[in-house]
Amino acid sequence: MRPEDVPFAERLSAASFLELDQRTLPRSWPDPVERPPGRAEKWVERTLSLLRTDPGGCWVAEVDDRMVGYATSLERELMWILASYGVLPDAQGRGIGRQLLDAAMQHGRGCLRMMLSASQDPRAVRRYLLAGFRMHPQMYLTGTVDRALLPVVEKTREGSAGDIDLMNSVDRQTRGAAHLSDHEVLLRQYALVVADAHTGSGYVYHDAFGSPQLLAATNRRTAAALLWEALAASDPLVNVDIAHVTAANPWAVDVGVAARLDLHTAGYLALRGMKPPAPYLHHGSLL
């Protein structure tokens, strides 16, 4: 993949995920929509950053000079992560995805651990199972948060670039590898709340609507406090999502249920050489 490929890869990704949502989302749900411009910009910024840190992990597939698929991946401290992966709907099921995944996984051949957040596309799941991954189902909680239910949270504060060392240390304790330069990208894209007390440390990045994007903490009590702090940033009229909750993180289900959110399942955390991190809510592409 070259930098000039990235905007096209983003559109390809948006098209393949829209078609996947149309194929798999429950019929009782609102009709899926294509990734909106704000999220598309974040996708492009993240991918350009990966091209700088991990050019060997990012690939495109072309047929007759037309891009039909891509895979982006990164290596952080002996952990390989698949960031994003898609093939145009009309080119799927013909072995293109397999070649892309093989190329991206070559980048992680020296790694001890591997992780990715899998969609529920049976084609994707089949690829990951054949590549040696174990699937851990993901839950998510969704709904609006009644402000009267928010507890008073102490020992948290707004975070900044000065907290990157602390966050890398919590990453190593929870997922076994630091996010390193990915924290710089995340800091530009989201709000950050940090806990740094003798009772526990951790952090949560959340979007403008209070949905957590990545959370790591040294114990469950601190993790729950950080999650409540993210929910406190939500708008009572706008839906918030607590996504990517594995069975190893029941504390997040407890917070979501106390906030009167509805519980669902979607996709898998796919892992090789490691157990589901906890207390931890992974990021969808930087995990």
Ligand X SMILES: CC(C)(COP(=O)(O)OP(=O)(O)OC[C@H]1O[C@@H](n2cnc3c(N)ncnc32)[C@H](O)[C@@H]1OP(=O)(O)O)[C@@H](O)C(=O)NCCC(=O)NCCS
Q: In the complex, which residues of this chain contact ligand X (CB under 6 A)?
A: 16-17, 20, 85-87, 92-98, 118-119, 121-124, 126-127
* Minimal CB distance residue for ligand X: 97
| H-only helix segments in the chain | 6-24, 37-53, 96-106, 122-130, 164-174, 182-189, 220-231, 250-258
Give the span between the Cα atoms of 71 and 56, in whole angstroms. 11
Q: How near is the Cβ of 85 to ligand X at its closest, in Å? A: 4
> What are the structure tokens assigned to 198, written together?
């003798």
Q: How far is the CB of 232 from ligand X (least distance, A)?
A: 31
> Considering beta carbons, is residue 137 or 250 the nearer one to ligand X?
137
C-alpha gyration radius of the chain: 18
How many Cα atoms occupy the beta-carbon half-sphere of 285 within 13 Å?
20
Long-range contacts of 71-74 (CB under 8 A, 24+ apart): 71/100, 71/101, 71/103, 71/104, 72/1, 72/9, 72/47, 72/104, 72/285, 73/104, 73/105, 73/107, 73/108, 74/50, 74/182, 74/286
Nearer to ligand X, 126 or 260 (CB): 126
Sequence letter at residue 267 = G
In this complex, which beta carbon is closest to ligand X, that of residue 85 or of residue 205? 85
Report, in Å, the least distance between residue 34 CB and ligand X: 13
Angle between the N-to-C axes of helices 250-258 and 220-231, in degrees from 0 to 180, rounded to the nearest 10? 40
Minimum Å distance from CB 170 to ligand X?
25
Tokens read off for 226: 């950080």
Which has the closest alpha carbon to 104: 49, 67, 58, 47?
A: 58
State which residue, 63 or 208, has the beta carbon closest to ligand X: 63
Q: Closest CB to ligand X among 92 and 168?
A: 92
Sheet holding 212-217, edge to edge: 157-158, 191-197, 200-206, 212-217, 280-281
Minimum distance, C-beta of residue 249 to ligand X, in the bound complex (Å):
20
Shortest Cβ distance from residue 81 to ligand X (Å)?
12
The residue (of 35 and 98) whose beta carbon lies closer to ligand X is: 98
Question: Based on CB atoms, which residue is closest to ligand X, 134 or 221?
Answer: 134
Nearest distance, CB of residue 123 and ligand X, angstroms: 4
How many CB atoms are located within 10 Å of the residue 259 CB? 21
Tally Cβ neighbours within 10 Å of residue 179. Answer: 26
Closest to ligand X by CB, 97 vs 202, is: 97
Task: Please report how close the Cβ of residue 118 comes to ligand X at its closest, in angstroms.
Answer: 5
